[in-house]
């Protein structure tokens, strides 16, 4: 547990072999973002499974079908470890090349459920949590192959962000060198407003 209520980082959530397979499998799929539909506006490459969420229009556009088979073991582990009472129905794969990050944000509370989980693959990074009211900043290390779970205060009262820095230093002096990172963010969509949603 960290100093942020509702924030947990589970180390070694997947094995090195599982990590390799997960990355190989998603590299065989089509990436969007960086000018490519359906999320051309995003400044990093992404893939979505379960439902298609539009960042531009802030709504669910349509159902995409079940999660791909290559994430079955991870989804089963989420259930086994009872990380959420509502199974995830949306998977966002984000790719961060060295020098790419994500701006401070809170995942839309009206669209996504109370538990947000993110699996870090290939590279560690520092996720910064900024308290929405006090502005207090807390850096949390997300090791390679760890699962981040955000709920309660961590999910609702803080913004989270990842810098573009190639080298990051934690307050205890630990130096983190960034390289290509892929994250699998599992969420439960609770609001379906798109025209082709079911």
Ligand X SMILES: O=C(O)CCC(=O)C(=O)O
Interface residues toward ligand X, by CB under 6 A: 92, 94, 102, 107, 118, 160, 183, 185
Contacts of 15 (CB under 8 A, 6+ apart): 145
Q: Which does 78 bind (CB under 5 to 8 A by kind): Fe ion, ligand X, none?
A: none
In this structure, the dihedral spanned by the alpha carbons of residues 121, 143, 94 and 66, taken in order and rounded to 10 degrees, is 60
Q: Which does 39 bind (CB under 5 to 8 A by kind): Fe ion, ligand X, none?
A: none
| Closest CB to ligand X among residues 124, 195 | 124
Please give the structure tokens belonging to residue 135.
Answer: 């502005």
Q: Which does 123 bind (CB under 5 to 8 A by kind): ligand X, Fe ion, none?
A: none
| Closest CB to ligand X among residues 106, 197 | 106
Q: How far is the CB of 133 from ligand X (least distance, A)?
A: 20
Contacts of 66 (CB under 8 A, 6+ apart): 50
Q: How far is the CB of 161 from ligand X (least distance, A)?
A: 8
DSSP codes joined into one string, 74-103: HHHHHHHTT--SS---EEEEEEE-TT--EE
| Closest CB to ligand X among residues 92, 189 | 92
Point out which residues pair with 9 in neighbouring strands. Answer: 148
Whole-number Å distance between alpha carbons of 92 and 120: 12
Q: Which does 183 bind (CB under 5 to 8 A by kind): Fe ion, ligand X, none?
A: ligand X
Residues numbered 89 to 148 that lie near Fe ion (CB under 5 A) are 107
Contacts with Fe ion, residue ranges (CB under 5 A): 107
């Amino acid at each position: 547990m960290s100093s942020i209520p509702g924030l947990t980082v589970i180390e070694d959530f997947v094995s090195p072999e599982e990590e390799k397979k997960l990355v190989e499998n998603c590299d065989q799929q089509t990436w969007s973002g960086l000018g490519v539909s359906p999320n051309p506006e995003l400044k990093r490459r992404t893939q979505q499974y379960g439902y298609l969420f539009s960042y531009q229009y802030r709504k669910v556009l349509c159902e995409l079908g079940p999660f791909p088979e290559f994430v079955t073991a991870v989804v089963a582990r989420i259930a086994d470890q009872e990380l959420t009472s509502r199974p995830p129905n949306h998977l966002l794969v984000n790719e961060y090349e060295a020098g790419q990050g994500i701006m401070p944000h809170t995942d839309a509370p009206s669209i996504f459920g109370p538990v947000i989980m993110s699996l870090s693959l290939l590279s560690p990074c520092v996720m910064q949590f900024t308290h929405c009211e006090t502005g207090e900043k807390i850096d949390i290390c997300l090791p390679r192959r760890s699962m981040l779970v955000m709920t309660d205060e961590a999910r609702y009262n803080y913004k989270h962000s990842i810098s573009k820095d190639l080298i990051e230093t934690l307050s205890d002096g630990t130096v983190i060198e960034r390289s290509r990172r892929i994250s699998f963010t599992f969420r439960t969509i609770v609001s379906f407003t798109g025209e082709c949603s079911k």
